[in-house]
Amino acid sequence: MSGLDAQRALIATACRVLAHRGLAPGVLGHVSLRVGTDRCLVRCRGPQERGLAFSEPSDVRLVSLDGELLEEATGYAVPTELPLHTEVLRARPDVAAVVHAHPPDTVAADLAGLAVRPIVGAYDIPGAHLAAGGVPVYPRAVLVRDRVLAGEMVAALGDRPVVILRGHGLTATGRSVEEAVLRARSVDTLAAMTLAVARAGGIPRDLPPADLAELPDLGGGFTHDTAWRHEVASLP
């Protein structure tokens, strides 16, 4: 496959992974990947839209950061919340990929006033380290459909990898599509664990600093490559 074709296939697979893991139920959510300085590939809505679980490479189209479709795509429309992607890409040169999803456990935990914190250790080491740095919250439950709202969300995100959107979902970033998806999954795993502890009558508590410091970096070959192969192999 050509470079763009391979990237389209990767984004489509990422969308299916999000749906399979329950982070993007139904037809809501999208994934983007930076292509050059002023363009990105993004999962668009097609004429036979069936939802993220059924994403195909043809659903992934090349667009400018101003939202213009840059190739013939009859019947396709860019996501209403495209600015959510493009403003992150404009503001964060360290980011190559953006995931926007609607995981119910993440939304529920935030609405219950339960922050995503490093409450587990070896259960999810990358997630623990991510949460230890803090997972910010954008407090408006709106469609992020223009540059003003997207700018507010980006400000809430700051230099962190993931931001929760109250009453809405989350936006995750990464140096790759795979990393952005795995970060979204880690945050949702922690949110689900936090809810489970609260339902059991417990109080979610951060790991002791000594335990957090003891958690090793297992390397990208394991935490990214192997984890991603597992996600893809798990698809129905």
Active site (catalytic) residues: 81
- 160 burial (CB, 10 Å; 0-12 / 13-18 / 19+) is middle
Q: Fill in the DSSP letter of residue 7.
A: H
Q: Fill in the DSSP letter of residue 222.
A: I
CB 4 within 8 A of CB 41: yes
Query: Which residues are within 8 A (CB) of 68 and not within 5 positions of it... i.e. 6 or more apart?
Result: none
- How far is CA 51 from each of CA 26, 54, 76, 214, rounded to the nearest angstrom? 5, 6, 14, 41
User: Which amino acid is present at 228?
Assistant: W
Cβ neighbours of 234 (radius 10 Å): 10
In terms of Cα–Cα distance, which of 219, 83, 50, 54 is closest to 150?
83
Q: How many CA atoms lie within 13 A of 94 on its CB side?
A: 8
Per-residue buried b or exposed e for 113-151, using 16+ beta carbons within 10 Å of the residue's own CB: ebbbbbbbeeebbbbbebbbeebbebeeeeebeebebbe
